[in-house]
Amino acid sequence: MTINIGSYLTNRAMLNPDKEAIVCEGVRYTWSEANAEANKLAHAMKKLGIGHQDRVAILALNEPEYLSMFYGLGKIGAILVPINYRIAGPEMQYILENSGARILVFGPEYADVVDSFRSDVQMEEFIALGDSKPEWALSYNELTGEVPDDEPELVGGGDDVLSILYTSGTTGRPKGAMLTHQNYFVGSTNIIATVGHLGDTALLVLPLFHIGGLANVPLGTQAGVRAVMLKSLDPKRFLELIEEEGVNVFGSVPVLLQLLKMVPDFEKYDWSSVKMVFVYAAPLPVALLEEYAEAGIEVRNLYGLTESCGMGTVIDGEHSMTKAGSCGLPEFFSEIKLVGDDGNEVGPDELGEVLIRGEFVMKGYWNNPEATAETIRDGWLHTGDIGRKDADGFLYIMDRKKDMIISGGENIYPAEIEDLLMRHPKIQDAGVIGFPDDLWGEAVRAVVVVAPGETLTEEELIEWTKGKIGKFKMPKSVVFTEALPRTPTGKILKRELRDMFN
């Protein structure tokens, strides 16, 4: 049987037509209504000449139309290219050119940036979301209002590409990870088989241009989970929605959990409906995990990549605290192994590069066979992450291979030191980089954001780390800043950090 992810929405609408499917800032759709919107998008795209494996890009906040495009394009075998709305115009232009997108759909917030490069890209149509549009664009509402909402003929599926998600580009140009219908099918099935019942309502705030947001779309439809969407992050509104909509589960990144804790009267919000919080995309400080555990909230660390459709490992509730810092065991349909520089598998508590295998691993990088061959070897996805497994097989991610600091021949993993620094009561955020040292080759530099109203000196912080971490891992230098450069999902941009403070 060939899976077309567009049929997910068709089938859910057949089984639960009147059940609420999407809630987004005043918009409420049942499953049948959501399916009708996706069908209209599919017909509108066909009318514009979009067909099998043609690319259509979207630059928008978390809108209901995002889901319509994901499923509608899937039904006709076309490819969705989500664009990170936080990157600059020239970077957006590169993605459009590299992907060969024929159409760009954009939200009203991005009309000016699109206008800045639209004459420099070979785009057949620009389509504007919302009630108004620039004179040079078509109207999404008008296009979808002029076509039927019946089921289009399903085209393709299986090994066909469904989306191209561009990596954050922390080194060089971003690469487009090709994720297929089969990848998403195995990915959502993987989570359900591993975790079980997710509840009835999920809160979706992570941007849909990121796999941490987009992978939740087919997962929620397969499981019949209602999606409560926030267009963009508003921590106070996020907490209010947990109460108002009876949210059972949500995905997060560590920085989001930190922001929620900073909302005034955080402890007064009712979390009783929440069963699980999954955290991914960046290392989860153990101190933060402990804070939520003290509040009675179960936070479960998950490990995956864009290239693995977000799949990899997840920790169960029983071990989330007893093995704090671990991202758990391989998911039901996942294989994980750690290898040394010689390519051989390492033993328990030995460090090695994390390799992932499963039918959720991307087809490859778009128009980049060299990078594909380097990343996927003998069926294994080479993640570039350094980790270790304990005697029970639980995975701990230490750091990115390229961010490792080598001091006097010792390998130092910044994430370990960052986790320690985040335990300091006066520190709001921290990043660790290496800097040149005449004697040791490299030494450790901490870049620190001090909490509001607090003061901290370099000497005080270095003294505080004594006895808490190996002497060779202690910061030899501390610099203070107002904010750390991060990706939209909370990963520290180490290259920028090094450029700024090295």
Type of residue at 325:
G
Closest CA to 425 of 398, 460, 477: 460
For the chain, what is the total number of helices (H) and then of strands (E)? 16, 27
Type of residue at 31:
W
Q: How far from 304 is each of 188, 191, 382, CA to CA, in Å?
A: 13, 12, 12
Say yes or no to pLDDT of 482 above 80: yes
- pLDDT tens by residue, 106-136: 999 999 999 999 999 999 999 999 999 999 9
Burial class of residue 123 in the structure, from the number of CB atoms within 10 Å of its CB (0-12 exposed, 13-18 middle, 19+ buried): middle
Residues 6+ apart with CB under 8 A from 126: 103, 104, 106, 114, 118, 134, 136, 137, 138
Q: Are residues 224 and 352 in the same domain?
A: yes
**Helices 286-294 & 254-261 angle (0-180, nearest 10):** 50
- Regarding beta strands 20-24 and 226-229, do their DSSP bridges make them parallel or antiparallel, or are they unpaired? parallel
Q: Is residue 179 part of a domain?
A: no
Q: Is residue 367 part of a domain?
A: yes
Q: Which domain CATH number covers 228?
A: 3.40.50.12780
Q: Are residues 396 and 412 in the same domain?
A: no
Q: Are residues 385 and 416 in the same domain?
A: no
Q: Given strand 226-229, what is the order of strands in its sheet? A: 27-30, 20-24, 226-229, 201-204, 249-252, 276-279, 299-304, 312-314, 329-330
Per the DSSP assignment, residues forming a β-bridge with 442 are: 436
Type of residue at 147:
V
Q: Are residues 373 and 439 in the same domain?
A: no
Q: Is residue 178 part of a domain?
A: no
Q: Are residues 136 and 153 in the same domain?
A: yes
Residue 408: which pLDDT band, with cuts at 50, 70 and 90?
A: low
User: Which of 73-77, 156-160, 298-302, 498-502 has the weakest average pLDDT?
Assistant: 498-502
Q: Which of these three, 93, 122, 157, is where a domain ends? A: 157
Q: Is residue 372 part of a domain?
A: yes
Q: Report the pLDDT value the prediction gives residue 409, as an integer from 0 to 100.
A: 60
How many other β-carbons are positioned within 10 Å of the β-carbon of residue 302? 24
Q: How far from 210 is each of 2, 83, 86, 214, CA to CA, in Å?
A: 26, 9, 12, 6
Q: How far from 29 is each of 36, 148, 204, 299, CA to CA, in Å?
A: 10, 18, 15, 29
On whether the CB atoms of residues 484 and 431 are closer than 8 A, the answer is yes
Q: Which of these three, 352, 381, 401, is where a domain ends? A: 401
Q: Are residues 209 and 63 in the same domain?
A: no
Which residues span the domain enclosing 468?
Answer: 404-501
Mean pLDDT of 441-470: 91
Q: Which of these three, 380, 401, 422, is where a domain ends? A: 401
Q: Report the pLDDT value the prediction gives residue 170, as an integer from 0 to 100.
A: 42
DSSP 124: S
- What is the distance of C-alpha 63 from the center of its chain? 17
User: Which of 153-157, 189-193, 294-298, 331-335 has the weakest average pLDDT?
Assistant: 294-298
Q: Is residue 480 part of a domain?
A: yes
Q: Are residues 67 and 152 in the same domain?
A: yes
Q: Are residues 475 and 356 in the same domain?
A: no
User: Which of 13-17, 26-30, 255-259, 314-318 has the weakest average pLDDT?
Assistant: 255-259
Burial class of residue 207 in the structure, from the number of CB atoms within 10 Å of its CB (0-12 exposed, 13-18 middle, 19+ buried): buried
Q: Are residues 302 and 373 in the same domain?
A: yes
Choose between 202 and 293: higher pLDDT. 202
Q: Is residue 434 part of a domain?
A: yes
Say yes or no to pLDDT of 493 above 90: no
Q: Report the pLDDT value the prediction gives residue 410, as an integer from 0 to 100.
A: 66
Q: Which domain CATH number covers 455?
A: 3.30.300.30
Q: Are residues 124 and 13 in the same domain?
A: yes
Q: Are residues 142 and 67 in the same domain?
A: yes
Q: Is residue 287 part of a domain?
A: yes
Q: Is residue 175 part of a domain?
A: no
Strands (E), 315-378: 329-330, 335-339, 352-357, 364-365, 376-377
| Count of structural domains, the chain | 3
Say yes or no to pLDDT of 400 above 90: no
Burial class of residue 192 in the structure, from the number of CB atoms within 10 Å of its CB (0-12 exposed, 13-18 middle, 19+ buried): middle
Q: Are residues 235 and 126 in the same domain?
A: no
